[in-house]
A and B are shown apart, each in its own frame.
Chain A
Amino acid sequence: MIVDTNAYLGHFAFRQLRHNTPDALLELMDAKGIDRAMVSSADAVTYRNTQPANEELAAATKPHRDRLIPFAVVNPFYAGWKDDLAICHDELGVQGLRLYPKWHNYALSDQCCLDLIRQATERGMPISIPIRVADYRQRSWLVDVPDVPLGEIIDLVKACPEARFLLLNGAGYTGSPLGKPDSGLPANYWIEISRLSAVLADEIGQLISRLGPERVVFGSGMPFKYPDPVLVKLEVLDAPPEVKEQIRGTNAAGLLQPLTPTRSASEGGERQAKLANR
């Protein structure tokens, strides 16, 4: 089973995306052998008010919840975020968050962001953070949005030990405390591999050795990116089959289980049962 922790639906402001509807993405997933995907709205990256994009995502994924797992994009600096979070989780069945602090112009250390993370964590939602949206060399002339520095991620995981973070589209972990076993950081973050090497420096192998295979997850970035490169990484990765299976899907599936009982706990159990049967 392959669970993609890093997928999207919708349009991006600066480049045409293909395979960006539920049917097209599912067709791509079928072709590549990807069973499930955590999806958020690509439109929400540049929307001021992200909630309409979350609502569109929830509606688009509703017939496909066994495969497309909606993640909401919430901006904690925007009016009404608490209402948006509650609606997304409690009414729309959204299972996780995606945060874009640089695109939405807030700091991960802002109190409102910490409040958002706390409230999402209380609902059992994992928090995914794309370190970048697009390669910095191909930014539009209209924007100059930097990557999220790994140092800011370090401060965040320390500040929110109860939360569960998915770090997407990142690189440089092996040179960071995030990729070191004796860093003193809580084991509350998972690293997605789409920008990490499986040969030459073999960053994925290094992270498996240092953090354990349970902390590394599959993610492609589709439909921004071709899924094949990360599939090739898994194929050539020098790791036992059971470790590859953890990375492909077991670890990510575990993140979809709420940490604490919530009103959706029974739904979560049903989802896990479905997963086990796939």
Chain B
Amino acid sequence: MPSSRSVTRRRFLGASAAAGAALAGSYLGSSSPGLKAAETKAAPGAETPSRKAVPVIDCHAHLTHHSAANYDQRDRQLIEAADKLGIDRLCCSILTPKKPATAEGFRECNAWLAEAIERLGDRVLGYCYVNPDCGRDALDEIRRCVEDRGFIGVKLYNEHVCTEPIVYPIVELAIELRVPILHHAGHGHHPIPGQPNISDGGHLAELGRRYPEARLICAHVGGGGDWEWTIKALRHAPNVFLDTSGSVVDEGIVDMAAQVLGPDRLLFGCDMSMTAGVGKIRAARLSPEDRQKVLGGNMMRLLQMRG
């Protein structure tokens, strides 16, 4: 039986639907596709009520590990930045600074995240971070976070390539709990320092084929190396979504993703590169309807899987 904390997600989903929800903020929205987006400049924080349809959801964010003395300040700065940029909700995880994460380490991170959700209100939604190496401990933690704490998904990093069998029980549990998995990813043509086990779009497509019921999110196309490679690798993986976050704002990145994958599979994200995340969506040639899907509609569909 879910605890009262799980009301967080339900309250969010209910409020969003009832209100016709929030905004496509001035930095993100566009009354017409493509180049005209720049015409929507307005004062910081301004909203455009006529374009309200879905909340703007950053599908990839992080709160600060408590080993940083100023973690609370940094978390509040993130909320302030979201306020400025018209982002309604941030889907966050807290990762351990040292990898691979221990069970104690990720449990601590997830407990802090649960506290932050209480502290910061419904602006923050939580991904449960685990290391697949931890087996039963990882599975128990996911179930606790989703069922008791109202977390909205699972975050996996680079402890294992996602096609390794050790990851399968986690995918199967995410399917059972009806939550998505946000998976760190990147594809470089030179070794990425310190990340020998990084997954890429091809791995995620393969995992998606193995588990067609799973909903997988390939992280930060703007921070994962050759983005053209990644987009092409995901073309035939209909249950893998692509997160637009990352510091790379190469012209055409979102346009190509929308063209190859379709706008229904793109999720707006920043991964802490806030203006990069917002700016590339504003720049992309998307219809108003598709822009709203990317900004929040598609993520809402993932959140509604669990009900």
Residues of A at the B interface (CB closer than 8 Å) are 15-19, 27-28, 31-33, 134-135, 137-141, 144, 195, 197-200, 221-233, 235-236
Contacts and interface: CB of A to CB of B under 8 A. Distances in A.
B274 A15 contact: no
A32 B225 contact: no
Contacts of B272: 200
User: Closest 5 CB pairs between A and B?
Assistant: A229-B279, A31-B35, A226-B283, A199-B81, A228-B283
B295 to A, nearest CB: 14
Given A225-B250, A226-B251, A137 B85 contact: no
B283 A197 contact: no
A139 B38 contact: no
Interface stretch (B2-10, B92-100, B161-169, B182-190): B182-190
Given A27-B35, A236-B84, A225 B249 contact: yes
A229 B280 contact: yes
B78 A228 contact: no
A8 B30 CA distance: 26
Interface in B276-292: 276, 278-280, 282-284
Contacts of B84: 199, 236
B228 A15 contact: yes
A7 B81 CA distance: 28
Contacts of B275: 197-199, 229-230, 232-233, 236
B208 interface: no
Interface residues of B, number: 42
Nearest to B37: A228
Contact of A222 (B81, B223, B251): B251
Contact of B80 (A139, A198, A199): A199
B270 to A, nearest CB: 10
B262 interface: no
Contacts of B38: 31-33, 228, 231
Given A199-B85, A226-B283, A228-B280, A18 B274 contact: no
Nearest to B281: A228
Nearest to A230: B279
Nearest to B256: A16
Given A139-B189, A231-B279, 16 more contacts: A15-B228, A28-B35, A33-B38, A135-B248, A144-B190, A199-B85, A200-B81, A224-B250, A224-B251, A225-B251, A226-B250, A229-B280, A229-B283, A232-B27, A232-B85, A235-B44
B41 interface: yes
